[in-house]
Structure 1
Amino acid sequence: MADTGHWKGFDREKSAAALAADTKTDRRSRRTRQTLHETLMRLTVERGYDAISVADIVNAADIGRSTFYAHFTDKDDLLRSAAGSLRTVLMAEHAAARLAGSPHLDQTLGFSRFMTEHLREQQVLYQALMAGRAGPIFMDLIRHAVADIIRRELTSHSPAIEHLELTVQYLVGAYLAVLTWWLDRGAKETPAVIESAFSKLALNGIGDILSGV
């Protein structure tokens, strides 16, 4: 029996839903990939990414090495796939929150409250993924996800915003710097405090662009 299931820091149903969106992959392959994703995440939290091997992953998942290599070239390839699923979940949750009329997401830069709350809920997992060789791979996921969300929010508030991509990258860099500092210190402040301070600082920096001045 595969050594997976519900554990703190990973939502199995959301992960499965993200993989199910890939209609080009058959159901059996999706189940295998989900099991490997879950196992990698759990072992990363328990032991650290650098300390685990492909052999550790397939043993814990009760999957043969040949099956693993039929889906992934190595451990890093598996991590990128798992990170991609997490990104899909994050984007879907943000879209659902907007459709549900979340008051925070009606505000310019409302993404910061959403993202900060999400990352605090998953703090143990994300801190484990930021450590060691997994860090650059995972940070690339976060950077692209945040950029997509910011771009979506900015264009919904100001469709003809000048220097859109420059503004997106400015906000991504500022937010990730704050986020890293906050998580490294143990997320002592509430998401509301971080969101409020970040939004005030960021809006002072891009106010003229948003107003079209």
Structure 2
Amino acid sequence: MSQNSPSTDLRVRRTRKLLRDALVALIAERGFEALKVADIADRAMINRATFYRHYRDKHDLLAHCMDDAFEELKARMRPPESDGGALDHGAPLANSEAMLAHVAENADFYRVMLSEDGAGTFVSRLRTYLRESSAERWQVVATYAAADPLMPPDLILHFVASAYIGAIVWWVAHDCPGSAAQMASHLFTLTMQGPYRAFGLQPPHESNYS
């Protein structure tokens, strides 16, 4: 039988899923740094030789887990493009909903990766991805609306990315209450209109505090 046969590919996918599920479960229990390859293999109920046929070490396994998560996430996102010369104002909300649906479907993974026992590299990669995708979006906005930023754009993008990560941490910690659409709407209000509006208050004018 060819090594590239469907049955072989299925076994490979199953083995890798077992290893990745084992990694997530063990990080939740012990933290990533305390883990050994033998721990992961034992939890996945495979031998170490099988582990090394798929991954170099636990860091390689973690990197592949993160790569897969980001590839799945990116595949759901709508590109930051205009439609027939008109800016697509629905894209940010739709993308937030798609991202949050992905988070909800992989809540255990995100809960672990964003925890104190998770991998700091995941938080950094997620923040970079969110910041870069927001930058692409605002570059499109700038072509249709003259804007003079009131502060460094990179500060704005970093703030929005960090706010989203904080909201995702809260959401998965509370077992993803409500729907992805509801959470996307909440985030839209928070990031586009601010905390005062979210609390049902009128935002204060800066001159009142000058």
Shorter-normalised TM range: 0.5 to 0.7
Q: Distance in 1 between the 2:69 and 2:79 partners?
A: 15
- Structure 1: where are the runs of 5+ without partners? 1-27, 100-104, 206-213
Within the candidate set 155, 165, 169, 1:176 is matched to: 165
Matched letter for residue 136 of structure 1: G
CA spacing shift, 1:176–1:165, aligned 2, 3 Å:
same
After superposition, the CA RMSD in angstroms is 3.6
Aligned to 2:36: 53
Within the candidate set 183, 186, 195, 2:175 is matched to 186
Letter in 1 for 2:69: L
**3-state SS of paired residue (1:109):** helix
**Equivalent pair of 1:171/1:202 in contact (CA under 8 Å):** yes
Letter in 2 for 1:156: V
What is the 5 A alignment of 1:81-96?
A: 81-95=64-78
- Residue 65 and residue 150 in structure 1: after superposition, are their counterparts in 2 closer, same or farther (change >3 A)? same
Distance of 1:52 and 1:42 partners within structure 2: 14
Task: Provide the C-alpha distance between the structure 2 equivalents of 1:98 and 1:123, rounded to a whole number of angstroms.
Answer: 29
The normalised TM-score by structure 1 is 0.61
Conserved in 1, the CA contact under 8 Å of 2:97 and 2:181? yes
Match of residue 118, structure 1, among 81, 97, 102: 102
Give unpaired runs (5+ residues) of structure 2.
1-8, 83-87, 195-210
Q: Verify the 8 A CA contact 1:130 1:138 in the aligned structure 2.
A: yes
Q: How many residues align?
A: 168
Q: TM-score, normalised by structure 2?
A: 0.62
Q: Name segments (4+ residues, structure 1) moved above 6 Å.
A: 96-99
Once the two structures are TM-superposed, the CA of residue 106 in structure 1 deviates from its matched residue by 4.2
Q: Percent identity?
A: 20
Q: Offset of 1:71 from its aligned partner?
A: 5.1
The question of whether the paired residues in 2 share the 8 Å contact of 1:120 and 1:187 is answered with: yes
